[in-house]
Chains A and B, each alone.
Chain A
Amino acid sequence: MSKTEDVPNMLISDMRTEIPFVRPKPAVPAKPPNVGAPSPSSPFPPQGLGVGGGGISAPPPSAIPVPIGSHGGSHSVGHGIGHSVSHAGSHAAPHSGGHGHGGSHSSSGGSTLLGYIGIDTIIEQMRKKTMKTGFDFNIMVVGHSGLGKSTLVNTLFKSQVSRRSAGWARDEKIPKTVEIKAVSHVIEEGGVKMKLTVVDTPGFGDQINNDNCWEPISKYINEQYEKFLKEEVNITRKKRIPDTRVHCCLYFISPTGHSLRQLDTEFMKRLSHSVNIIPVIAKADTLTIEERQEFKQRVRKELEMSGIEFYPQKEFDDDMEDKSDNDKIREAMPFAVVGSDKEYQVNGKRVLGRKTAWGIVEVENPNHCEFAQLRDFLIRSHLQDLKEVTHNIHYETYRAKRLNENGGLHPISSADTQESNL
């Protein structure tokens, strides 16, 4: 049923090992027609899978066994399962392991699988679906004006995705209150489509009196949760609820070299429980390497002392592997970054950077700044996790709170459902 061309690269096994190459196919083990009833010592219980007794009704064409001698690791797409099948006397061998060679022997490896089921193909199916539907990612940037927020986001996603590029005037006047401006773009890479929404917060921290300037931001985040909740609770729900929830909030710390500001701790304290906050040190080319290390240490200490749990939060580490990966990342945070949308020639290569009278700061050079680390962390390894933590934890916290107040939410009480009752 699956055609040759659909086999993803990731399922091609390593030819150097004995692992037979398997193609995604229905859960019918291939066996040669001459296999008789299983011997009594066989660990395989008679199952409806067609083992023994030739109960296979219509083996799919793909179940043709590979001739002996091939170690099954045939790289060519389109062969059946493993090699062992063709051996007389052996049972329909499980696809794992190159056993089944010679003689009728019983339990190969003690596996209880009668054959290859193909559960792992789920990954491929999900992947295909994701590629078709694309996915949403919503990132918010917070910090006072001039810290390079828009440039950094553009640099991260290698596209002009920030508010600036959407036609907003370059050097706008500082707004009197904090505004929330969301801009969406669909970007594509390797066949995968992402609808990226960048939420900017101009006016944050720019006033003389910045009391409560975090409130409009907190309100916006909760509004997105509310929107999602209303959809979820509806009687007739959309197949795919549009997700506008903020998956990640990049908080820009000014590179003073001293320590966090009062506004920084106030904001992060209040919002770290409703959204994933990733603090970054902005415009890090202001600091020498030594200054940067000292500053980072001080900032981390302050974050700890204030009880601010930034992403990745320790309490959500799933297992030891996660924990050790995340510990390394937490140790290195906040990442000191530099952003740029201009290219220069350095050592024969074109690099993104900033050209000063004393040298060129290369954005993607790990010796210059930690942009590459941030990008890898944010996009290449933890993108999905950010969404999951938002959905499974922050959103659920919001939902539980909402359901507990005023006796909870009724689907009926939602105005939208009036029509669905018809």
Chain B
Amino acid sequence: GSSTLMYKSHDQDKEYVGFATLPNQVHRKSVKKGFDFTLMVAGESGLGKSTLVNSLFLTDLYKDRKLLNAEERITQTVEITKHTVDIEEKGVKLKLTIVDTPGFGDAVNNTECWKSVADYIDQQFEQYFRDESGLNRKNIQDNRVHCCLYFISPFGHGLRPLDVEFMKALHEKVNIVPVLAKADTLTPGEVKKKKIKIREEIEQYGIKIYQFPDCDSDEDEDFKQQDHELKESIPFAVIGSNTVVEAKGKRVRGRLYPWGIVEVENPAHCDFVKLRNMLVRTHMQDLKDVTRETHYENYRAQCIQSMTRMVVKERNRKYAHAEGREK
């Protein structure tokens, strides 16, 4: 947990060095610099991805979007689109980039439709790798994808073949956080059953989704409990909304049905709050760290290996060629 930093002045104490203030200094510098975060959303259209993104970050990123009809979408391949928005809250600046994958899973034949998504992720790694190895590293732009929210349809009986293929193609390139979309379609019992089924299938197919770091043994019980609940909530059953409705005298973000009002931020209704807290308030940094330390490093190692192999091959070829000429 983030313990509040106590900044005590111990100047009188001769043995006090003072680097306990380091976190504070880092904190201050980062605040000045600002943070960035790249979030990818993937899943077939109509699962509420855009609405959820807008709800999570209280923005209206998709204001001018035009929905294509079935005829228009026939020739669509999977596109990759980027929307960037600068958000500031209490003096902290966040440059948020949302990467969307319109067209995913929409065709009749969706063979390898994840390829453009995988290629995009690799391209960002490649660009970073180049920049990192380059001479001028002052203003490296980090466009690497830190997290991919994968939307699972609530209408299936668990994971569909496309879901499995996508996640397996990407689980070693990006942090996958599965969400159960449009969860207001399901009764509480159905949500529970589906979550269990999906978790079982994820394990069964060997899909490596983002793992929440285990909390330290010295954390307090409350935090441990929260952490445990978080792990049990996967996939997050989410509902998004761009409209405010009146419920019990208060105004809430929600969806108005003839049979009742779904409140997006009510933990009894869905896991929206859990997801938002996880994504923004507790695990944003960890998501970035895992991207840097694991996914990117894997890519880099592979890259270097294949480059080395190519170099060796080329050298051997030249050598053989030269030898051949000598003879």
Given contacts A209-B111, A357-B269, 20 further A-B contacts (CB under 8 A): A145-B157, A147-B155, A171-B197, A174-B161, A206-B160, A206-B161, A208-B109, A208-B110, A208-B161, A256-B45, A256-B47, A258-B67, A261-B70, A262-B73, A262-B108, A288-B255, A302-B71, A306-B70, A356-B260, A357-B268
Residues of A within 8 A of B107 (CB): 262
- Would you give the shortest CB distance from A318 to chain B, in whole angstroms? 32
Across-interface contacts of A367 in B (CB, < 8 A)? 258
Binds B, one of A131-139, A179-187, A263-271: A263-271
**A258/B155 in contact, CB under 8 A:** no
| 6 residue pairs, one from A and one from B, having the closest CB atoms | A256-B46, A359-B260, A358-B260, A359-B259, A146-B155, A146-B156
Contacts of B268 in A (CB 8 A): 357
Partner pick for B187 among A209, A356, A368, CB 8 A cutoff: A356
Can you identify 26 A-B contacts, CB atoms within 8 angstroms? Answer: A146-B153, A174-B157, A206-B161, A207-B161, A208-B110, A208-B111, A209-B110, A211-B109, A255-B46, A260-B70, A261-B70, A261-B106, A262-B73, A262-B107, A262-B108, A263-B108, A286-B154, A289-B258, A298-B69, A302-B71, A356-B187, A357-B268, A360-B260, A361-B259, A368-B257, A368-B258
Q: Cβ of A260: which chain B residues have Cβ within 8 Å of it? A: 69-70
Is B80 on the interface with A (CB-CB < 8 A)? no
Q: In the bound complex, what is the Cα–Cα distance between A265 and B261 (angstroms)?
A: 33
Residue A397 CB within 8 A of the other chain: no
The docked-state distance in angstroms from the alpha carbon of A174 to that of B186 is: 21
Residue contact A286 to B182, C-beta cutoff 8 Å: yes
Q: Is the C-beta of B30 less than 8 angstroms from some C-beta in chain A?
A: no
Q: Is A209 a contact partner of B109 (Cβ separation < 8 A)? A: yes
What is the number of residues of chain B that contact chain A, defined by CB distance less than 8 Å? 45
What is the number of contacts between chain A and chain B, taking CB atoms within 8 Å?
126
The chain A residues found within 8 Å of chain B, CB to CB, are 144-148, 171, 174, 206-211, 213, 254-266, 282-283, 285-286, 288-289, 298, 301-302, 305-306, 354-362, 365, 367-368
A256-B47, A288-B256 in contact; A355/B187 too (CB < 8 A)? yes
* Chain B residue at minimum C-beta to C-beta distance from A212: B108
Residues of A with C-beta under 8 A to B188: 356-357
Instruction: Given A174-B161, A206-B161, A256-B45, check contact A302 B70 (CB 8 Å).
Output: yes
Q: Is B306 an interface residue (CB 8 A)?
A: no
Q: Would B71 and A306 count as touching, CB distance under 8 A?
A: yes
A258 touches B257 (CB 8 A): no
A208 touching B162 by the CB < 8 A rule? yes
Taking a contact as CB atoms under 8 Å apart, the answer to whether B187 and A354 are in contact is yes
What's the nearest-Cβ distance from chain B to residue A261, in Å? Answer: 6
In the complex, chain B residues 160-179 whose Cβ is within 8 Å of any chain A Cβ? 160-162, 165
User: Which residue of chain B is the closest to A211 with respect to CB atoms?
Assistant: B109
CB B147 to nearest CB in A, in angstroms, measures 24
Given A208-B110, A288-B257, A265 and B70 touching (CB < 8 A)? Answer: yes
Give the residues in chain B near A289, CB-CB below 8 Å. 257-258
Whether A146 contacts B157 by the Cβ 8 Å rule is yes
Residue of A nearest to B243 (CB): A288
A147-B155 Cα distance, complex, nearest whole Å: 6
Interface code B45-69, partner A: CB below 8 Å = 1, 0 otherwise? Answer: 1110000000000000000000111
Question: Bound complex: CA of A147 vs CA of B182, how far in Å?
Answer: 14
CB distance from A295 to the nearest CB of B (A): 10
Task: Say how far A403's CB is from chain B's closest CB, in angstroms.
Answer: 34
Taking a contact as CB atoms under 8 Å apart, the answer to whether B109 and A210 are in contact is yes
Q: Is B158 an interface residue (CB 8 A)?
A: yes
Complex Cα spacing A306 to B47, Å: 24
A145 to B162, CA, bound (A): 13
Cross-chain contact A262 with B106 (CB below 8 angstroms) = yes
Chain B proximity of A365: nearest CB distance (Å)? 8
Q: Please, which residues of chain A bring their CB within 8 A of the CB of B160?
A: 174, 206
Q: Does B21 contact A (CB under 8 A)?
A: no
- Contacts of B68 on A, CB cut-off 8 Å? 259
